[in-house]
A and B are shown apart, each in its own frame.
Chain A
Amino acid sequence: MGANSSLRDRFESGLAAPICLTWELTYACNLACTHCLSSSGRRDPNELSTTEAMALIDEIAAMQIFYINIGGGEPMIRADFFDIIEHAINRHVGVKFSTNGSRITPEAAQRLAAMDYLDIQISIDGVDAETNDALRGEGSYDAARRAMDNLRDANFGPFKISVVITRHNISQLDAYEALAKEYGAELRLTRLRPSGRGVDVWDDLHPTREQNRELYQWLLDRPNVLTGDSFFHLSALGEPLDGLNLCGAGRVVCLIDPVGNVYACPFVIHDQFLAGNVKEKGFNEVWTNSDLFTSLREPGNPGACTACGSYDACRGGCMAAKFFTGLELTDPDPECVFGHGETALEAKRLEIRPKPSPDHSRRTPVRIGSK
């Protein structure tokens, strides 16, 4: 999806409805990944009821939102999961959902394979159990592979394999590509963000500057590998990566969390980026008129990046990555390819970083599979 600069200006000033709406169905999760963006684990008692969820889908359909990205938590844990996605698809709203795969039994795979306009994204963060389970918990690798096997055996068609790139799994890029090929799947790589529980592991897990440079080249050579515009901060290295190459928060992207709170993007679950709640005003009102989204649609302020010739390429990078590492939103991205972010981080080394809110982490460790 390429976009010329005038079109990008249009996107910066916002659209009638989001292109990419993420809706997290529940904070409940049977895993406890170290880098969970939404600090998931326990269900929130105020999560949308089935009736509220169905009404939200009707509103999404009325806004002509083409598809929704469903996540969590683990969305398949909700007892009304299939009712929700079937209602969306019946209303002509396409669904892509992200899952750890543990609930994709052979029977569930058959049911999913029979549905149109449905896309599934299985999360796996290592090409072997050792690498993956270090981040996602014991048994999670086997569960994800079983889900892939079940989808393949049910003839689901091409699903997506989604990998968060870290300092430790970035050496496996070619192996992920081979794994996706083995299943006839699409590979999707995303950026590790210091959001949710990720704030505690980001310093140790985010790729080094050298690794990011290699990743940029690898992606440039493989336009078919999906990234969800995750790595636009790397476009400062030269030729832009495929995508809109801008921070879409509140402009083309937003998040509805399990209790109906609307945040600017899936990576900023924090009061400072809360635009409103769908239970109070409806989603359209929040998207169109909230003060937060209106301010995010103003032209970007290059801030500390003004003097850098690459601002037009990277637009200063990811708002969430800056915020949760304690940087100002006008600072460079903490992973700025020229190292300006590292300098900015060093200056804030002794400051307390913002804590994600809310936190639904479990209080006890979890494991799945082998007991």
Chain B
Amino acid sequence: MSRHVSLRDESFGALAYHHVNRRLVFLKSKPLVAIVQDLANFPTAREAIAAHVDEAEVARYEKALSSLVPSDIINGR
């Protein structure tokens, strides 16, 4: 997760705000929030996802995560 991003828990998941590009992004599920917060603890995004959701859902969450890259909510190391 970008060091410029703040997360705030909401009933649907969380709001993410990027303080530099001022993008406000909705994380629409609790597992997605947990994955984003946990990314730094895993060597790859796939492993972070697998730690939080069932195998059948990994592809869906990979897609959700990649949608957070253009707004720099998360970025590569």
Q: A10 to B7: give the CA distance in the assembly, Å.
A: 17
Instruction: Specify the chain A residue showing the minimal Cβ separation from B24.
Output: A1
B28–A64 CB distance below 8 A: no
**A66 and B28 in contact, given A16-B9, A17-B8 (Cβ under 8 angstroms):** no
In the complex, whether B51 has a CB less than 8 A from a CB of chain A is: no
Instruction: Specify the chain B residue showing the minimal Cβ separation from A64.
Output: B8
A19–B24 CB distance below 8 A: yes
Q: Could you say which interface size class chain A belongs to?
A: 10 to 19
Q: Could you say which interface size class chain B belongs to?
A: 10 to 19
**A7 and B28 in contact, given A19-B15, A94-B22, A119-B22 (Cβ under 8 angstroms):** yes
Which A residues from 94 to 133 make CB contacts under 8 A with B?
94, 116-117, 119
Q: A66 to B14: give the CA distance in the assembly, Å.
A: 12
Q: A265 to B27: give the CA distance in the assembly, Å.
A: 25
Chain A 1-27, CB-CB to B under 8 Å as 1, else 0, gives: 101000100100001110100000000
Contacts of A19 in B (CB 8 A): 15, 24
A66–B19 CB distance below 8 A: yes
B11–A10 CB distance below 8 A: yes
Contacts of B9 in A (CB 8 A): 16
Taking chain A's interface residues, is the majority helix, strand, or loop, or is none over half, making it mixed? loop
B11–A66 CB distance below 8 A: no
Q: A94 to B26: give the CA distance in the assembly, Å.
A: 18
Instruction: Specify the chain B residue showing the minimal Cβ separation from A7.
Output: B26
Q: A10 to B6: give the CA distance in the assembly, Å.
A: 20
Which B residues from 20 to 34 make CB contacts under 8 A with A?
20, 22, 24, 26, 28
Q: A84 to B4: give the CA distance in the assembly, Å.
A: 21
Q: How far is the CB of B12 from chain A (nearest CB, A)?
A: 5
**A67 and B17 in contact, given A1-B24, A7-B26, A19-B24 (Cβ under 8 angstroms):** yes
In the complex, whether A92 has a CB less than 8 A from a CB of chain B is: yes
A3–B26 CB distance below 8 A: yes
Q: A94 to B4: give the CA distance in the assembly, Å.
A: 11
B6–A15 CB distance below 8 A: no
Contacts of A3 in B (CB 8 A): 26
In the complex, whether B57 has a CB less than 8 A from a CB of chain A is: no
In the complex, whether B10 has a CB less than 8 A from a CB of chain A is: yes
B10–A66 CB distance below 8 A: no
A117–B15 CB distance below 8 A: no
Instruction: Specify the chain B residue showing the minimal Cβ separation from A13.
Output: B11
Q: A232 to B54: give the CA distance in the assembly, Å.
A: 40
Give the interface of A toward B (CB within 8 A): 1, 3, 7, 10, 15-17, 19, 64, 66-67, 92, 94, 116-117, 119
| 10 closest A-B pairs by CB | A66-B17, A64-B8, A117-B19, A10-B12, A94-B19, A66-B6, A16-B10, A15-B10, A1-B24, A7-B26
Q: A16-B10, A117-B19 are in contact. List 5 more A-B contacts (CB 8 A).
A: A16-B9, A16-B11, A19-B24, A66-B8, A66-B19
